[in-house]
């Protein structure tokens, strides 16, 4: 068992894109390293004013990783335009999005809409 409190998480950087001042998604790199070394499951709790879109994107299809994000619904990166052909970003950060494929049920988004 291990607990890591990490700052900055790099949680906006996706597999193929640097975002939100992050080049590397430190949390995703650490989780992948732990899984590669034999850890069976990883829990990532991301508590930030911003949704961790990058971490979610990396693990949304992986049932070994439970990703929970607590964030404001109306902050970066969801006020930026969507890429053509991509799902509505606000949908990806809502409680309705729970992962995809074999990772369905392993993503938990808890967004708040009031003032912080």
Q: What digits encode the pLDDT tens for the residues 1-48? A: 778 888 777 888 888 888 877 789 999 999 999 999 999 999 999 998
* Partner residues linked to 71 by β-bridges: 111
Asked whether 36 and 75 are in contact (CB, 8 A), the reply is no
Measured CA to CA, the distance from residue 78 to residue 81 in angstroms comes to 8
Mean pLDDT estimate for the chain: 84
pTM of the shown model: 0.82
Of 11, 12, 51, 71, which one is the catalytic site residue? 12
pLDDT confidence tier of residue 72, bands split at 50, 70 and 90: confident
CA angle 102, 103, 107 (to 5 degrees): 160
Q: Is 12 a catalytic residue?
A: yes
């Amino acid at each position: 068992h291990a607990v890591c409190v990490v700052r900055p998480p790099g949680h906006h950087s996706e597999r193929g894109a640097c975002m939100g001042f992050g080049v590397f998604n430190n949390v995703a790199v650490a989780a992948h390293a732990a899984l590669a070394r034999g850890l069976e499951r990883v829990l990532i709790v991301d508590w930030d004013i911003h949704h961790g879109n990058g971490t979610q994107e990396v693990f949304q299809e992986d049932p070994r990783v439970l990703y929970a994000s607590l964030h404001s619904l109306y902050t970066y990166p969801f006020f930026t335009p969507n890429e053509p052909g991509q799902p509505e970003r606000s949908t990806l950060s809502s409680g309705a999005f729970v992962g995809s494929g074999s990772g369905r049920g392993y993503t938990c988004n808890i967004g708040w809409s009031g003032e912080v």
